[in-house]
Amino acid sequence: MLGQSLENPTINDIKKAETRIKKYVDVSTKVITSEILNMKYGFPIYIKPEGLQPTGSFKIRGALNKILKAKEDGQVSHCITASAGNHAISLASSSLLLGLKSTVVMSEQTPQIKILTCERLGAEVIIHGENYDEAYKEAQKISSEKNYYYIHPVADCEIVAGQGTIGLEILEEMPDIDQVIVPIGGGGLISGIAIALKSLKPEMKVIGVQPEKSNAYYKSWKRSYLVNIEKPNTIADGLSLKQPEKYLFNMMKHWVDDIVTVKEDTIEKAIKEFLFLGKLLIEGAGAVTLASIIESKINIEKKTVLIGSGSNIDEQRFKALLN
């Protein structure tokens, strides 16, 4: 498929991504903490607030790195992707910045805010299928038929390297950190962060979190082979996945220390705690990190950073959550 690169990213790829992205956009975010959350849980909790990115999520890092690399190689004029929303927004934003055309294929589960944002950024939006996997197959078909440059949301060397720049920033700002807690959807975020952190500080712990109702990687991790989920259904829509990526699962087995799961009602509670105690709007996909602390799945006696991966929560879902 035109566009996808399945080389294994290295720490040098991540450093190159950081340099490449900085020439166009400052995507760095500062680690923050909340005294109210700290008092509630008895230990300092640090948060990497990727929801403060211009696109509302960390995904701008990987998408921009991939497109810039493709432009360097003279390969791209029209980009296409399939996405649960945040990668699509980042692709549309990056394409607009660089003067390229873009098409995004989204499932019927995609929050309206993410669809409208892509359209406002100039992307052609196609709604197809009940979940990401069905949208992905449609995007592959269109890419082949029209020779569009396909940018995979997770399983791609430059995408993983772009997300890994988060790890570089954490270590630069907090070199004494003990562990980082990362949401797992497609798997690109945790793979990139883990490669960056553990290449530079091998004793660092990297722990992934999935919703119980979308736990394909967790089940695969426990069984040591890939396990599909028939009908993932979670408030953390950005983590909804039926089929794990072998390319990324192999990275996780090498670089990640553990994967845990959290319940739906705990994710809802974590969204509220981030908002009312931490004063941060974090969508369900990012809130699973705090949910893992609420459920005592994480040892927070260690100096811990939570990846607050995004803030693009659907308005109607958010209103229902608060009622």
Neighbours of 145 (CB within 10 A): 8
Residue 218 is inside which H or E element, if any? helix 216-223
Contact between 41 and 304 under an 8 Å Cβ cutoff? The reply is no
Name the maximum alpha-carbon separation found in the chain.
56
Residue-range domains of the chain with CATH? 11-57+156-322 (3.40.50.1100), 59-150 (3.40.50.1100)
pLDDT of residue 1: 57
Per-residue pLDDT of the chain (323 residues; tens, 9 = 90+): 577 899 999 999 999 999 999 999 899 999 999 999 999 999 999 999 999 998 999 999 999 999 999 988 887 889 999 987 789 999 999 999 999 999 999 988 787 878 998 999 999 999 999 877 789 899 999 999 999 999 999 999 999 999 999 999 999 999 999 999 999 999 999 999 999 999 999 999 999 999 999 999 999 999 999 999 988 899 998 898 889 999 999 999 999 999 999 999 999 999 999 999 999 999 999 999 999 999 999 999 999 999 999 998 888 888 888 87
User: Which amino acid is located at 195 in the chain?
Assistant: I
DSSP string covering 149-207: EE--SSSSHHHHHHHHHHHHHHHHH-TT--EEEEE-SSSHHHHHHHHHHHHH-TT-EEE
At residue 289, the 3 state secondary structure works out as: helix
Residue 14 pLDDT: 98
Distance CA 182, CA 166 (A): 11
pTM of the model: 0.94
CB neighbour burial string for 23-50, b if at least 16 within 10 angstroms, e if fewer: eebebbbeeeebeebbeebeeebbbbbb
Q: Pairing mode, if any, of strands 78-82 and 32-33?
A: unpaired
Sorted by sequence, the CB contacts under 8 Å of residue 284 that are 6+ apart come out as 211, 234, 235, 236, 237, 238, 239, 267, 268, 271, 313
Given the structure tokens 């019927």, which residue do they identify? 108
Residues 41, 44: Cα–Cα separation, whole Å: 8
